[in-house]
């Protein structure tokens, strides 16, 4: 990259809780405000961020630029520019990329970036025909005209619009799309359950060892993630029924899929001077490079983009898989993560589909999501990017100088975002 060195510093997040759980009383704005306030409080007295970038995936009719609303509700200066970023599950990661250009042009600047999802607060709306009818109905001034409109309203148009986690192009849910990927790449149910179990075990251990103590703040009496399960086992996971393909061929279950989750997360982005405004103990690493990719969801698979992005990013820097000390790969489903790693080791796929004529070696599973992934920790769509980046920053900062990390997120629509970090 041609811009001056940029750095990420670990931020803060709320605990992650299942939908309708301990954070259900808060909407996306009020869930984000404590995180922004707690992060801003770490700056010196009177100091404030130079830019706010925040995002959420689920739309809400009460606001359009959620970043601005959060900044104002958090009591930050109204003179700080704020913008909303969105790219499905990679929303707060691409928020970092969006902020990078501004930070790179402004010496000594510091951006507060993050995202949120309140799955408990999803807004139910009206279908488009009914919305249009209502608008015209209230525009009519004559009582007779309104009466005629009521009489002419087709009952079939009186419907609610209930948001669902489905892809508009295919009409398939994320799970249904991933089931196709799992079958195409021959990913077994047992492999998915084993990876899910490992994720829970690592997340539970990380909480017990205090890894998350300086990354998570308490909100509404919830002081830690509620999703990691210490009591799960392969036997328990094996008893769960398939969630998206009820036939004997179905492999994705509630146990190896990320749950609907409430939560908010933030991270810092700045140049070397800008990061000096944070406490010296704040973990920080260099943002070296990034790659965003789009693929053909009908040909390549709904969540396959990172399998294209990672090889291109590594090839640009002449790196092999073993050169990466830490791999943080978002798990919408363990099946999707297993597909990615399988594809990354398939030389024909890399050559013919990705267009990279290189071999990167064997994938180092022992360096994968050492403190748990999204299946165990939870997945509030807009917050996952900041969560996984802050986690990677803390993990990588503790390793030897020169160590590298790859952070990868797949998203709906055949998109993906990947970045390379170094300490």
Single out the residue of 180, 127, 123 nearest to residue 155, CA to CA: 127
Contact 53, 65 (CB under 8 A): no
Give the largest Cα separation in the chain, rounded.
78
What whole-number distance in Å separates Cα of residue 305 and Cα of residue 291? Answer: 10
- 272 burial level (CB within 10 Å; 0-12, 13-18, 19+): middle
Structure tokens at 20: 């309708």
Catalytic pick from 200, 340, 379, 419? 379
- DSSP conformation class of 421: E
Contact 163, 124 (CB under 8 A): yes
What whole-number distance in Å separates Cα of residue 394 and Cα of residue 421? Answer: 11
Structure tokens at 349: 């796929």
Structure tokens at 114: 């993050």
Structure tokens at 342: 């399988």
Catalytic pick from 62, 89, 317, 330? 89
200 is catalytic: no
419 is catalytic: no
What whole-number distance in Å separates Cα of residue 329 and Cα of residue 310? Answer: 11
Catalytic pick from 200, 330, 410, 419? 410
Structure tokens at 165: 């986690």
Contact 284, 36 (CB under 8 A): no
What whole-number distance in Å separates Cα of residue 30 and Cα of residue 58? Answer: 15
Cα atoms found within 13 Å of the Cα of residue 136, Cβ hemisphere only: 13
What whole-number distance in Å separates Cα of residue 319 and Cα of residue 399? Answer: 18
Contact 395, 356 (CB under 8 A): no
What whole-number distance in Å separates Cα of residue 84 and Cα of residue 255? Answer: 32
What whole-number distance in Å separates Cα of residue 404 and Cα of residue 422? Answer: 4
What whole-number distance in Å separates Cα of residue 135 and Cα of residue 12? Answer: 42
317 is catalytic: no
Single out the residue of 276, 287, 258, 325 nearest to residue 113, CA to CA: 287
Contact 122, 58 (CB under 8 A): yes
Counting other chains too, the contacts that 189-193 makes at CB distance below 8 Å and 24 or more residues apart are: 189/238, 189/251, 189/253, 189/256, 190/234, 190/238, 191/334, 191/338, 192/251, 192/252, 192/256, 192/333, 192/334, 192/335, 192/338, 193/234, 193/237, 193/238, 193/253, 193/255, 193/256, 193/334
Which residues are identified as catalytic? Answer: 89, 379, 410
């Amino acid at each position: 990259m041609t811009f001056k060195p940029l750095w990420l510093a670990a931020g803060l997040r709320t605990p992650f809780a299942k939908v309708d759980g301990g954070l259900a009383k808060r909407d996306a704005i009020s869930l984000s405000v404590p995180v922004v306030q707690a992060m801003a409080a770490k700056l010196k007295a009177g100091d404030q961020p130079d830019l706010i970038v925040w995002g959420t995936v689920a739309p809400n009719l009460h606001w359009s630029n959620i970043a601005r609303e959060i900044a104002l509700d958090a009591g930050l200066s109204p003179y700080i520019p704020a913008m909303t970023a969105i790219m499905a599950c990679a929303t707060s990661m691409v928020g970092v990329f969006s902020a990078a250009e501004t930070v790179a042009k402004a010496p000594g600047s510091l951006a507060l970036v993050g995202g949120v999802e309140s799955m408990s607060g999803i807004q139910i709306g009206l279908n488009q025909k009914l919305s249009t009818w209502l608008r015209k109905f209230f525009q009519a001034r004559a009582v007779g005209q309104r009466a005629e409109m009521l009489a002419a309203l087709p009952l079939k148009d009186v419907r609610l619009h209930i948001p669902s986690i489905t892809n508009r192009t295919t009409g398939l849910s994320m799970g249904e799309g991933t089931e196709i990927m799992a079958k195409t790449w021959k990913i077994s149910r047992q492999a998915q359950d084993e990876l899910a179990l490992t994720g829970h075990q690592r997340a539970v251990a990380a909480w017990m060892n205090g890894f998350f103590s300086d990354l998570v703040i308490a909100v509404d009496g919830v002081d830690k993630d509620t999703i990691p399960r210490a009591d799960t086992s392969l036997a328990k996971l094996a008893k769960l029924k398939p969630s998206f393909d009820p036939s004997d061929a179905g492999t994705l279950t509630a146990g190896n899929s990320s749950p609907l989750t409430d939560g908010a997360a933030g991270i810092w982005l700045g140049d070397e001077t800008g990061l000096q405004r944070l406490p010296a103990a704040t973990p920080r690493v260099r943002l070296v490079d990034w790659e965003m990719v789009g693929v053909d969801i009908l040909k390549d698979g709904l969540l396959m983009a990172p399998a294209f992005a990672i090889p291109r990013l590594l090839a640009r820097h002449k790196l092999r898989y073993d050169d990466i000390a830490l791999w943080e790969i978002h798990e919408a489903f363990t099946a999707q993560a297993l597909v990615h790693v399988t594809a990354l080791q398939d030389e024909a796929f890399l050559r013919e589909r990705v267009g990279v004529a290189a071999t990167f070696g064997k994938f180092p599973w022992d360096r994968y999501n050492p403190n748990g992934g999204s299946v165990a920790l939870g997945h509030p769509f807009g917050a996952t990017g900041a969560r996984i980046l802050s986690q990677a920053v803390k993990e990588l900062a503790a390793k030897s100088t020169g160590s590298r990390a790859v952070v990868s997120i797949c998203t709906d629509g055949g998109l993906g975002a990947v970045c390379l970090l170094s300490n």
